[in-house]
Amino acid sequence: MAVAQRYDVGSGTEFPEGVIVGKNIGGQDVVFIRRLGKVQCYFDQCTHQPVKLSRCGEATAGKLVCQVHGGTFDLDNSGAVLVDPPMDALKSFVCEETAGQVAVYI
Ligand code: FES
């Protein structure tokens, strides 16, 4: 298993609460979402079909909803499925925010 690499991804101000921010980090398309003050990071793809959550997703009240078929993921439980059709949780990556700077391990 490969060891995750740390990437600095920017100032915390670039990640406002509840806004989906898409970025390419280390060759991976990912989305960042701040929930209750904490930045989270997920692979930028719905687990139902290969559509980008940065384009088709909406973050609301602790949930990330894929607007294509209404698949819903839990932002309070590492991207677990709340509403199908997706069967699998979103792939998540560890984030940290130190002195106003956000980093992710991919
Ligand atoms: S493509 Fe996301 S729910 Fe179907």
What is the chain's mean pLDDT, rounded?
96
- CA of 19 from ligand 1 middle (Å) equals 19
Instruction: Give the domain ranges of the chain.
Output: 6-105
| Cα separation, 19 vs 32, whole angstroms | 8
Give the residues surrounding ligand 1 with Cβ less than 6 Å away: 46, 48-49, 51, 66, 68-69, 71, 85-86
Determine the average pLDDT of the residues in 88-100.
97
Number of H helices, E strands in the chain: 1, 10
Q: Does the pLDDT at position 75 exceed 90? A: yes
Which of ligand 1's atoms lies nearest the C-alpha of 47? 2
Q: Which fold has domain 6-105?
A: Rieske Iron-sulfur Protein (2.102.10)
Determine the average pLDDT of the residues in 43-67.
97
- What confidence score (pLDDT) does residue 77 get? 92
The DSSP secondary-structure symbol of 16 reads: -
Of 99, 97, 78, 105, nearest to 15 by C-alpha is: 97
Residue 71 half-sphere exposure, CB side, CA atoms within 13 Å? 24
- What confidence score (pLDDT) does residue 1 get? 63
pLDDT tens-digit series, residues 1-53: 678 899 999 999 999 999 999 999 999 999 999 999 999 999 999 999 999 99
Of 99, 77, 100, nearest to 64 by C-alpha is: 77
